[in-house]
């Protein structure tokens, strides 16, 4: 392989990688890839930008065939031609991604939702964020938490933790793994009652849970839990509903502002 051919292949792969990791159309799907698979994807996508780059040079050569333009043209070697072709390939890769992200309405949100729905864990996390629902998370230690997801994630992200604002904590029984809520975070409830759940004080209660320790995750249904756990009284259920209503109302006010 000549040095010129090698340079062109590197430029094609680089253009494809730049487009794939920057353009919302592929960014969240490619984030799940690595190694040879990522290289092949980059090379395949990069080939799409070679024809327009080649066309630019062909138009330039055609323009130089006219006498009044020829005086401004210079002859270049084969290696210089490949270098220029490589540069144009990179430029088209970046400009195409930039144009797509800028002019395609709601592109980021659409592709995030599309990729999240391909993964059960991410899909549940997405629903909790979009519908403002609490998550019930069980860890391999037997500990359980109920709380609101507080930090946004992107599909395929390498985050090893998820963050929640805890409302309840508890455990699963050793005998039948029954889901038991034992502790209500009164400090969090107090902040919510004052409308301060997005304050720095509330951030002190954010909890990061390691994904590798999570056994199960699901949307917490207050009414269903009340039916299966006799110790979860109507008073506790009503208190939880009031807390969620205040959280939801404050979140809407924050979004509108």
Distance in angstroms between the alpha carbons of the first and the last residue of the chain: 59
Which distant-in-sequence residues (6+ apart) come within 8 Å of 126 by Cβ?
112, 113, 116, 117
Report the sign of the C-alpha dihedral through residues 197, 198, 203, 208, in that order: positive
Nearest to 185 by CA among 209, 165, 161: 165
2 CB-near residues (< 8 Å, 6+ apart): none
Predicted confidence pLDDT, tens digits, the chain (257 residues): 567 788 899 999 999 999 998 898 888 778 777 788 888 999 999 999 999 999 999 998 888 877 666 677 778 888 889 999 999 999 999 999 999 999 988 887 777 777 767 777 878 887 888 778 889 999 999 999 998 888 666 655 555 788 888 888 888 888 888 888 888 887 776 666 565 555 667 778 888 888 888 998 988 887 777 666 656 656 666 666 666 666 655 555 555 44
Distance (Å, rounded) from C-alpha 68 to C-alpha 7?
Answer: 33
Name the residue with tokens 């090379």: 43
């Amino acid at each position: 392989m000549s040095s010129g051919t090698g340079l062109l292949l590197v430029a094609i792969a680089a253009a494809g990688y730049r487009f794939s990791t920057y353009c919302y159309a592929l960014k969240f799907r490619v984030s799940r890839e690595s190694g040879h698979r990522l290289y092949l994807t980059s090379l395949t996508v990069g080939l799409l930008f070679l024809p327009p780059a080649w066309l630019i040079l062909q138009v330039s050569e055609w323009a130089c065939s006219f006498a009044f333009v020829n005086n401004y043209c210079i002859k270049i070697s084969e290696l210089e031609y490949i270098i220029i072709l490589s540069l144009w390939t990179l430029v088209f890769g970046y400009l195409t991604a930039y144009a797509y992200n800028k002019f395609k309405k709601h592109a980021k949100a659409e592709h995030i939702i599309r990729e999240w729905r391909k993964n059960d864990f991410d899909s549940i996390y997405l629903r909790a964020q979009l519908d403002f629902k609490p998550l019930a998370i069980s860890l391999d230690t037997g500990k359980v938490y109920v709380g609101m997801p507080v930090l946004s994630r992107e599909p395929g992200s390498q985050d090893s933790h998820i963050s929640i604002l805890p409302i309840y904590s508890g455990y699963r029984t050793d005998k039948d793994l029954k889901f038991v809520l034992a502790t209500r975070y009164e400090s969090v409830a107090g902040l919510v009652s004052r409308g301060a759940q997005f304050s720095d004080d509330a951030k002190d209660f954010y909890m990061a849970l390691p994904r590798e320790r999570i056994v199960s995750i699901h949307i917490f249904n207050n009414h269903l839990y009340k039916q299966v756990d006799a110790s979860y009284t109507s008073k506790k259920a009503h208190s939880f509903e009031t807390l969620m209503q205040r959280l939801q109302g404050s979140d809407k006010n924050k979004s509108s502002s």
